[in-house]
Chain A
């Protein structure tokens, strides 16, 4: 599904950017630390040294906070991905149960799933290696078992549950 993939992709781009930033920060900081240690050996009481040490400490803190923030982002993205998988799994379970309630045959269940995914008759026929006439007949049987008028109502049957709120009554 495209939305899920888009979320994953933008999430990956975001974490990658944060990680690159963290690496660059580390590279800079390590040189600073080296410089501070060098100055420490020369004159630890100079104002220059004290300022440099403070700046370096701030840089190190920045890296640590950056690392924690990145970890949180990664965890969040994973949790979202997992939730999406659960939702997906839950929906397909709902559909499966409904198909059984309608007493669809295994072949009809397959065709029904493909139809819900938005494939047209020709595509379903090609996928299943069946004639288009067969698929059309199966779809008709599915609609009659489900008691829906056609493809639009068939798809709407499952979407309706997801929307979660009724159609406002015409006043």
Chain B
């Protein structure tokens, strides 16, 4: 089988430092996901705001995947499960190749993470009926001031049958499961970085932070 375009063993180095957009979106999403998973309460203003922020960062990263520099573009890390499995197998025998962008296993992780994050965001939007954090804040203020009418759903009544309740329930389930999957993927991602670090002696963390130490000064 012909090796994929991105696979070269000669003189191809992964980025020494990811560009600032990649780094900012990466850490921004990491913080938003972690904080929303463990600290904020579902449906609270903070939770929804962070969800929207994560959506903005994800969208920016996707735009950057089309407009950004070479190694940040989708074309630099096409999803290729076969290459991903091969990379993991090579890693186990301690001689994995270099790639100009994410390695194939990392690329699969990236896409899996984005899809799962999108699922969390979309189900979250459905849960809040697409209300922006501003609207939610306004509704909360209205309830606090004694106007409970905002709590009444427009669709409530005879029209909303069992179907809608079932859909809402499923959606809530999706939000929950996808969020947990997201945390699982994040843990897997950290493990992958750790293994690459140990087995191949490649520091994948520095390029995502401030770059190699010899260039920082």
Contact = CB atoms under 8 A, between A and B. Distances in A.
A38 interface: yes
Band of interface residues on B: 20 to 34
A71 B67 contact: yes
B209 interface: no
Contacts, number: 70
The residue among B21, B52, B53, B68 with the most chain A CB atoms within 10 A of its own CB is B21
Contacts of B135: 38
B69 A27 contact: no
Contacts of A23: 21, 24-25, 28, 56-57, 60
A31 B133 contact: yes
Contacts of B56: 23, 26-27, 29-31
Interface string B120-132: 0000000000111
B100 to A, nearest CB: 13
A30 B125 CA distance: 13
A26 B19 contact: no
A67 B63 contact: yes
Interface string B17-29: 0011101110010
B64 interface: yes
A35 B52 CA distance: 12
Contacts of B132: 31, 34-35, 38
B28 to A, nearest CB: 7
Contacts of A38: 130-132, 135
Contact of A71 (B25, B28, B60, B68): B68
A75 B69 contact: yes
A27 B19 contact: no
A124 B28 CA distance: 48
Interface string A7-30: 010000001101110110011011
Contact of A20 (B19, B20, B130): B20
Interface of A: 5, 8, 15-16, 18-20, 22-23, 26-27, 29-31, 34-35, 37-38, 63-64, 67-68, 70-71, 74-75, 78
Interface of B: 19-21, 23-25, 28, 52-53, 55-57, 59-60, 63-64, 67-69, 130-135, 215, 217
Given A64-B63, A74-B19, 6 more contacts: A19-B20, A27-B56, A34-B52, A38-B132, A63-B60, A67-B68
Task: Across the A-B interface, give the 3 residue pairs with the lowest CB-CB distance, nearest first.
Answer: A19-B20, A30-B56, A34-B132
